[in-house]
Each structure stands twice: as structure tokens, then as C-alpha cells.
Amino acid sequence: MNIIKTLSQNKVAMVGFFVLAIFCLIAAFGPLLYDGSPWKMVQRPFLPPFENSNYLLGTDTLGRDVLAGLIYGTRISLLVGLVSTLIALLIGIPLGAYAGYFGGWVDELLMRFTEIFQTVPSFALAIVIVAIFEPSVYSITSAIAIVSWPPVARLVRGEFMSLRSQEYVLAAKLNGQTHRNIIMREILPNSLSPIIVLASLMVATAILLESSLSFLGLGDPEIMSWGYMIGAAKTVVRQAWWLSFIPGLAIALTVLSLNLLGEGLNEALNPKMSGKREN
């Protein structure tokens, strides 16, 4: 409750929360309330925004409804961001936990394995992975997850290394608890705060990566996303600026809201920062 109270007192974080909540509602209920297909040609191409009440955001290069594309793209962009982050956490947390808890050769082996994925820039590695497999929402999500888990592993490793010598951990060992129980019940719950903050920022990064891949033509050609909309309009920026501006604004607002919420969570979950703010 103290965390919720502290977070609610952070006006900037609450702005990010409400903006993100709006996008989540659009992703959840938008396609149900707005039954227009994002691929259907409904009007003449390059219809400017607010010129036709039936198509408030205008039409794209093929006469497709921009608002329909924006609504359906919200679901795909958020889904890719959330699922890829979840997969990255499922990979990075166990590896970091075992490396930080056991140390020694286990730590060396797992960290050398982690460094293999960090030697190549994440965006370049994601391009290679998607290019090897057929571009689809599954390959894009997998690629983003693969390039996103190393920072999670390193963060969790550091947390476990600092907590494994605490008195409650030593007491659990003396009581005969297994290593798995100590990791899952004693150390991991006490290291969740920085992991939650990192996860919120990872979702924002994943959305940007998906948009960048789609912009380069490596997105799923059968699924509408914000990155696809920008990539399809990149050759007509001067003629129809709104085709790039509208989905770009949606990406910017989503990423900004996630970053604001992440900073708010960091203050709420970090007692030292919360104390400074209250003073």
C-alpha cells in the first residue's frame, strides 16, 4: 500500500500511467468497437486528417483508414513489447540468479555465455535473427527477447551477489532449505524492485525495436503495426506528413509514458529515493 501511495503522489508517474492505460484500453477494446479493417481501401489516397468525418485521421497511400491502422497497430506493438519482455525475464532471471547465488565456475560460465550475446549490438543482432527466419510477429518477438535478456541477467546477478550473504539467507541454509527454495523464496522476492523497474523500461525498448524492424521492412507483412505504418509512408513524407507523424506520435507517447512510469516505480520501490522526494 505504501508503494501505491508513493506512486500516486508522483504526478509525472501518474501522467505516464494514465497515458499508458489509454493505449491499453485501445489495444483491448479498440478493434471490438471499431470494426473497420486496417487493410481495406475505403477512400481516395492521401485524404488529410479531419477532412472527412468518417475517416478522422485521413487515409494512407492506398486509401486505407489511418485510424483503423493506428488502433490495430496499438494491440500489436504493445503485445510484442509485453511478450518479448516476459520471455527475456524468463531467460535472464534464472541465469542471473544461479550465477549470483552460486558464484565460482557457475558464475564464470553463465556470464561468459551472456557476454556472447552482448558482443554484437542488440539492434544488429535482432536484424540478423529476423532476416534468417521468415519475418513474422513470432520471429520479431523472439528476436527482441533474445537481445533483451542479458541486462536482466546481469542485474539479477548483482542483486543476488549482494543478498546471498544476508542473515536471513544464512539462517535458511542452516535450517536445511534447498538451494531452490532459498533462491525462490528468500532472495528473489527481495530483489524484485529493480527487476520491475527494468521490465517497464524494457517494454519501451521492445516497442522501439519492433517499430525499427518494421520500418526497415522486416516486420510481419500480414499484421498492421505502428512501425509498418511509418515504413509504408517513408517515401511520401513531404506529400503526406501525417502518415508518419501520427504513428510516430503514438510510439513517442507510449515510450515516454513507460519511462515516466518506470521512474515513478523506481522512486516508489526505492526507500532512499522516496525519502529524498518527501523531504
Query: What letter would DSSP give residue 134?
Result: P
In a domain, 189, yes or no: yes
Q: How many domains does the chain have?
A: 1
The predicted model gives 158-185 an average pLDDT of 90
In a domain, 55, yes or no: no
In a domain, 41, yes or no: no
Res. 273: pLDDT tops 70: no
In a domain, 50, yes or no: no
Among the listed residues 148, 99, 147, 152, the one whose alpha carbon sits nearest the alpha carbon of residue 126: 147
Entry pTM: 0.89
Phi/psi of residue 155, each to 5°?
Answer: -65, -50
In a domain, 46, yes or no: no
Res. 168: pLDDT tops 70: yes
The domain spanning residue 17 has which CATH number?
1.10.3720.10
pLDDT of residue 1: 56
| Residue 99 · residue 157 · CB < 8 Å | yes
Q: Give the domain range for residue 203.
A: 2-36+62-278
Q: What does the alpha-carbon distance between residue 174 and residue 8 come to, in Å, rounded to a whole number?
A: 41
Residue with cell 528476436: 143
In a domain, 45, yes or no: no
In a domain, 120, yes or no: yes
Res. 272: pLDDT tops 60: no
pLDDT of residue 112: 93
Cβ neighbors of 29 (< 8 A, separation 6 or more) are none
pLDDT of residue 119: 87
In a domain, 113, yes or no: yes
Res. 3: pLDDT tops 80: no
